């Protein structure tokens, strides 16, 4: 028993000494290899099943559009339905608009939560984060009640000649509400990581609060803010539950990428649904990759 224990200790010591000789990059690569292998085992099979194998070709028909985009023998064939093809840029446009609209409010709320204390702050934090934990359909029902023609602000907007429910505006509103918590959370963490001493020094030198915010706080927190904006955009792109409640699924008006996938499945067009799923995966992966790149650059800077 003592021999076995001694041998195990010697082996452990040799392994520890070899790990000590590894550089930081080599150690990071060694740790990441199992995760990368697992990632490819999880991602590649369904991806190949979704896209299939074929050759590269692009075909343009007179009335319908059939696009075949591939790399080597890797095929992505989008459906010929023009409405489904238009759902992708429509979704990106709505998501970008919703992110731009919530950006100033999200920055203001995040800064207040990070830098100020006031009675009821916990209540505000809970209300802001509530859409993250509530079922999206429940949030959509509340929005439908609030923006309905007979209730709340919906009646006022109708008198002003502005309809929200079951229009493109409802899609944007749903995206704004569902992505707002992610934006606030990311920006709040970024603001909290900025040293308050720098702001105090600038104030003692005569800088106004606005100047301190725009010349010190905002530049130092920019990477976290951009990461929060990207996460909010990605969440808006994938929004479904609240959107279908307040905006419905009206072809050419409120159909987003998520609703198009749902519609294809309901109609039994599984092939088109899987190809749209591939587009959704690519968009989501790109957004998260950009967000992580900004976060990594912020960590390297520190």
pLDDT tens column, 245-292:
999 888 888 889 999 889 888 888 888 888 888 888 888 888 778 777
Predicted TM-score (pTM) of the model is 0.72
Place of tokens 């996460």: 231
Structural domain of 44: 1-48
- Specify the pLDDT at position 77: 46
DSSP-based three-state secondary structure for 283: helix
Give the separation between CA 232 and CA 211, rounded to whole angstroms. Answer: 27
DSSP-based three-state secondary structure for 110: helix
**Other Cβ atoms closer than 10 A to 147:** 21
Counting Cα atoms < 13 Å in the Cβ hemisphere of 193 gives 19
How do residues 120-135 score in pLDDT, each as one tens digit?
Answer: 888 989 999 999 899 9
Residue 72 lies in a domain: no
Residue 74 lies in a domain: no
Residue 196 lies in a domain: yes
- C-beta of residue 183 within 8 angstroms of C-beta of residue 232: yes
Instruction: Please give the tally of structural domains in the chain.
Output: 2
Query: 132 and 211: one domain?
Result: yes
- As a whole number of angstroms, the longest Cα–Cα distance in the chain is 88
- Specify the pLDDT at position 279: 83
Residue 235 lies in a domain: yes
Average pLDDT, the chain: 76
Query: 36 and 106: one domain?
Result: no
Query: 88 and 42: one domain?
Result: no
The model's confidence at residue 102, banded by pLDDT at 50, 70 and 90, is very high
Using alpha carbons, list the distances in angstroms from residue 235 to 1, 18, 176. Answer: 57, 43, 9
Tokens of 75: 């095929």
Query: 259 and 191: one domain?
Result: yes
Residue 171 lies in a domain: yes
């Amino acid at each position: 028993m003592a021999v076995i224990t001694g041998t195990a200790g010697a082996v452990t010591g040799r392994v520890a000494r070899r790990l000590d000789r590894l550089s930081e990059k080599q150690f990071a690569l060694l740790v990441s290899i199992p995760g990368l292998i697992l990632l490819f085992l999880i991602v590649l099979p369904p991806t190949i099943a979704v896209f299939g194998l074929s050759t590269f070709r692009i075909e343009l028909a007179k009335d319908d559009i059939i696009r075949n985009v591939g790399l080597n023998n890797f095929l992505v064939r989008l459906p010929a339905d023009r409405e489904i093809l238009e759902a992708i840029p429509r979704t990106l446009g709505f998501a970008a608009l919703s992110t731009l609209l919530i950006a100033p409010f999200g920055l203001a709320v995040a800064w207040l939560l990070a830098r100020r204390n006031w009675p009821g702050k916990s209540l505000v934090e809970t209300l802001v984060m509530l859409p993250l934990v509530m079922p999206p359909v429940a949030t959509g029902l509340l929005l439908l009640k609030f923006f309905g023609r007979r209730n709340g602000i919906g009646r006022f907007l109708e008198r002003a000649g502005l309809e929200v429910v079951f229009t493109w505006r409802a899609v944007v509103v749903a995206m704004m509400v569902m992505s707002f918590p992610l934006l606030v959370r990311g920006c709040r963490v970024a603001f909290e990581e900025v040293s308050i001493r720098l702001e105090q020094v600038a104030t003692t030198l005569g800088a106004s609060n606005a100047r301190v915010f725009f010349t010190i706080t905002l530049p130092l927190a920019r990477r976290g803010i951009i990461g929060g904006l990207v996460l909010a955009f990605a969440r808006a792109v994938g929004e479904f539950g609240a959107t279908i409640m307040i905006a419905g699924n009206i072809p050419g008006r409120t159909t987003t990428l998520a609703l198009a996938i749902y519609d294809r499945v309901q109609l039994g067009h599984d092939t088109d649904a899987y190809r749209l799923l591939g587009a959704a995966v690519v968009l989501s992966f790109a957004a998260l990759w950009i967000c992580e790149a900004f976060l990594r650059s912020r960590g390297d800077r520190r």
